[in-house]
Amino acid sequence: MTNPLLSDWTTPFKIAPFNKIGDADFAPAFDVALAEHQAEVTAIADNPEAPTFSNTVEALEAAGVALDKVLSVFFSVAGADSNPEREALQRDFSPKLAAHSAEISSNKALFDRIATVWGARDELDLTEEQQRVLMLTHRGFVRGGAALDGAEEARMKDIKSRLAVLGTEFTQNLLADEREWFMPLTEQDLEGLPNFVVDAMRAAGEEKGADGPVVTLSRSVIVPFLQFSPRRDLREIAFAAWAARGANGGKTDNRAIAAETLALREERAKLLGYDSFSDFKLETEMAKTPEAVRALLMAVWEPAKARAEADGAVLTDMMHGDGINGDLEPWDWRYYAEKRRKAEHDLDEAALKPYLQLERMIEASFACATRLFGLTFKELDVPLYHADCRAWEVTRDGSHVAVFIGDYFARGGKRSGAWCSAMRGQAKFPEVQGPVVINVCNFAKGDPALLSYDDARTLFHEFGHALHQMLSNVTYESVSGTSVARDFVELPSQLYEHWLEVPEVLAEFATHAETGEAMPQDMLEKVLGAANFDQGFATVEYVASALVDLAFHDGAAPADPMAKQAEVLAELGMPRAITMRHATPQFAHVFAGDGYSSGYYSYMWSEVMDADAFEAFEEAGSPFDAATAKALETHILSTGGTVEADALYERFRGRLPGVEALLKGRGLAA
């Protein structure tokens, strides 16, 4: 019998035949598909014919079809519906895949062919997209070290493997420190804490084998504790432990790891011919240079600091009103901010929830796409990997556009968070393939299922990513959909969140589960107003972290990262009652791996764009302005990574984004 993962899929729209695939099919299909891709790549590298775009770059694009099929199904179920068997498979596949891609990127014969095509690029009569794919392919190999020889090549290999070890150690040390510490509380210590915090601390106590409730360093426990506990002495102890993670001395101390990591990154960048690691890292991003990143962050820093200082003065007065003299400290901020929030923006979550039915919010996200892009959605009856999954065919003017799958409910076996992925990306080469796109969320089940406002925003966010995949209209899959720079990829998703806040959308779709009535106006205003609360604090703790990250990588690596951090914060005039969102010994974004190193700024970069892009609709007079929607699709949603991100944005907006809309959106504008 043929393995269902490797056979031709004759299902509607060639969706994977989930009802025929068993866990026992994955390992044999994986081995066959991996070997097939290896053979394809070897054949391309060893081709006796002279290298051309077609027999080298396009051939690489076309290779690995079976592997893509196997992995898209496997990673879908491994992330959203795992079990011990799938976990074991993942542990088996991961190192094999890492070795496979390392083997390809260090294949000299292959790189020589790519370099030859690259050298001849001006004589090849390539389309704009082909030139781009060639450039990205070549650049990817060069950045991986394929152009290095001899001692430099060997050194690069050593650096990479040492960095991987350091990244893992950093993460494990942080986890160990977080696990190690807890603070038992007496029944008396619980006074003033809301039930949900007490429940979480009792559960944490049981987990730690303690007699009663405990405070732990998990964000979901310590942050509510700092927000709600009136016991300043206990807040101070807990905050000190939280701030010391990764810097407690001994085996789990991360400070030396941070220093070694930064030095190796600098060396790696220099081996590749860059002045600094930031120059290396930002080359592929929309920001491109450390100067551009710093300019953005500093434009936000000053107004954010001014707001935080004004807020800090209000909170200090509240504290003095409690009879506590002296300065507001970091362990005081969240407590007094929460008191202030309650006084100014009290939003009754329990009263709000019945207005946010999952079903109605899905309808709302679809309806906005209908108004903006003319898409229509029809539910499909196809077997998927779990009974909770639903699928829709997406069409426009009667033509097929994509298949959209929604897997909305939390369950054991699904990892936390929410994400969007393409089970199949859009492409026209080697043949036309329509995208199959999935949104996975972790909403609570119910009858009807009800969302929090944050949940509803997540739904719109992930659907924005889905639109980026579904409206993609490019030739090569490697540049389709969300295959764009990291600091650009959150633009479509964060932008789509704005339509949830359009009053007419909430008025139509936020209807009460029992009465069917629209959300009352004052509740709607409270929902929208709460978003700006304490943004001075949130912006300061974030921007300070992003600026320290940049300072670490933009220039010579500091021998003492903690001293460097202190120097940067002193120069900025960091408010005393606010600390970095992630201080160096805990900064997993930057030290657990390469993902966000010299890249922590990118969340805000995307926010600058989404705020500015939504203003284009407002300037045109309507959140559903047809011409602006058309421009958004033409220049941003359909183009994937075929063009540099800044050029795409300029085509859409006629200019690059400024920070004004973001400052307004966060309530920080002067």
> Which active-site residues does the annotation give?
462
Which structure tokens are listed for 306? Answer: 């001014």
| Distance of alpha carbon 654 from alpha carbon 631, whole angstroms | 11
Verify binding: residue 469, Zn ion, rule CB under 5 A: no
Closest to Zn ion by CB, 493 vs 602, is: 493
Judged by CB under 5 A, the stretch of 154-162, 438-446, 490-498, 565-573 that binds Zn ion is 490-498
E strands, 251-409, in order: 376-380, 390-396, 399-409
Verify binding: residue 130, Zn ion, rule CB under 5 A: no
Closest to Zn ion by CB, 268 vs 465, is: 465
Verify binding: residue 472, Zn ion, rule CB under 5 A: no
E strands, 118-225, in order: 182-184, 214-216
- Asked if 307 contacts 313 with a C-beta cutoff of 8 angstroms, the reply is no
Q: C-beta of 490: minimal distance to Zn ion in Å? A: 5
Closest to Zn ion by CB, 417 vs 573, is: 417
Verify binding: residue 493, Zn ion, rule CB under 5 A: yes
Q: C-beta of 641: minimal distance to Zn ion in Å? A: 16
For 20, the 3-state DSSP assignment is helix
Contacts 24+ apart (CB under 8 A), 471-474: 471/373, 471/401, 471/633, 471/637, 471/638, 472/425, 472/426, 472/435, 472/637, 472/638, 472/639, 472/640, 473/426, 473/638, 473/639, 474/129, 474/426, 474/427, 474/428, 474/638, 474/639, 474/640, 474/642
Q: Which residues of 51-80 are buried (b: 16+ CB within 10 A; e: fewer)?
A: bbbebbbbbbbbbbebbbbbbbbbebbbbb
Write out the DSSP string of 457-499.
HHHHHHHHHHHHHHT---S-GGGSTT-S-HHHHHHHHHHHHHH
Q: C-beta of 493: minimal distance to Zn ion in Å? A: 4
580: nearest Cα among 549, 557, 603 = 549
Closest to Zn ion by CB, 225 vs 460, is: 460
Closest to Zn ion by CB, 170 vs 463, is: 463
Verify binding: residue 602, Zn ion, rule CB under 5 A: no
544: nearest Cα among 279, 304, 277, 312 = 304
Judged by CB under 5 A, the stretch of 233-241, 441-449, 489-497, 557-565 that binds Zn ion is 489-497
| Distance of alpha carbon 148 from alpha carbon 190, whole angstroms | 61
Distances (CA, A) of 276 to 255, 262, 525, 543: 21, 11, 47, 21
Q: C-beta of 211: minimal distance to Zn ion in Å? A: 42
| Distance of alpha carbon 268 from alpha carbon 277, whole angstroms | 8
Verify binding: residue 439, Zn ion, rule CB under 5 A: no
| Interface of this chain with Zn ion, residues 206 to 245, rule: CB under 5 A | none
Judged by CB under 5 A, the stretch of 11-19, 55-63, 491-499, 524-532 that binds Zn ion is 491-499
Closest to Zn ion by CB, 61 vs 610, is: 610
Judged by CB under 5 A, the stretch of 215-223, 226-234, 266-274, 488-496 that binds Zn ion is 488-496
E strands, 361-512, in order: 376-380, 390-396, 399-409, 419-424, 436-443
**How many residues interact with Zn ion (rule CB under 5 A)?**
1
Q: C-beta of 457: minimal distance to Zn ion in Å? A: 11
Judged by CB under 5 A, the stretch of 2-10, 27-35, 157-165, 486-494 that binds Zn ion is 486-494
| Phi and psi angles of residue 228, each rounded to the nearest 5 degrees, phi first | -110, -20
| Interface of this chain with Zn ion, residues 290 to 349, rule: CB under 5 A | none
Contacts 24+ apart (CB under 8 A), 79-83: 79/414, 79/415, 79/419, 79/440, 80/385, 80/386, 80/407, 80/413, 80/414, 80/415, 80/440, 81/385, 81/386, 81/411, 81/413, 81/414, 82/413, 82/414, 82/415, 83/23, 83/413
Helix, strand, coil % in the chain, rounded to nearest 5? 60, 5, 30
Q: C-beta of 465: minimal distance to Zn ion in Å? A: 6
Distances (CA, A) of 110 to 55, 101, 105, 589: 11, 13, 8, 33
Q: C-beta of 30: minimal distance to Zn ion in Å? A: 28
Q: C-beta of 165: minimal distance to Zn ion in Å? A: 29
| Distance of alpha carbon 511 from alpha carbon 174, whole angstroms | 44
Closest to Zn ion by CB, 360 vs 465, is: 465
Judged by CB under 5 A, the stretch of 64-72, 145-153, 440-448, 492-500 that binds Zn ion is 492-500
Closest to Zn ion by CB, 278 vs 493, is: 493
DSSP 288: -
Q: C-beta of 446: minimal distance to Zn ion in Å? A: 25
Judged by CB under 5 A, the stretch of 13-21, 377-385, 485-493, 578-586 that binds Zn ion is 485-493
| Interface of this chain with Zn ion, residues 615 to 644, rule: CB under 5 A | none
Closest to Zn ion by CB, 60 vs 471, is: 471
DSSP 586: G
Judged by CB under 5 A, the stretch of 144-152, 493-501, 533-541, 635-643 that binds Zn ion is 493-501
Closest to Zn ion by CB, 66 vs 459, is: 459
Q: C-beta of 452: minimal distance to Zn ion in Å? A: 18
For 356, the 3-state DSSP assignment is coil
| Interface of this chain with Zn ion, residues 362 to 421, rule: CB under 5 A | none
Closest to Zn ion by CB, 252 vs 493, is: 493
Residue facing Zn ion at closest CB distance: 493
Q: C-beta of 497: minimal distance to Zn ion in Å? A: 10
Binding site for Zn ion (CB under 5 A): 493
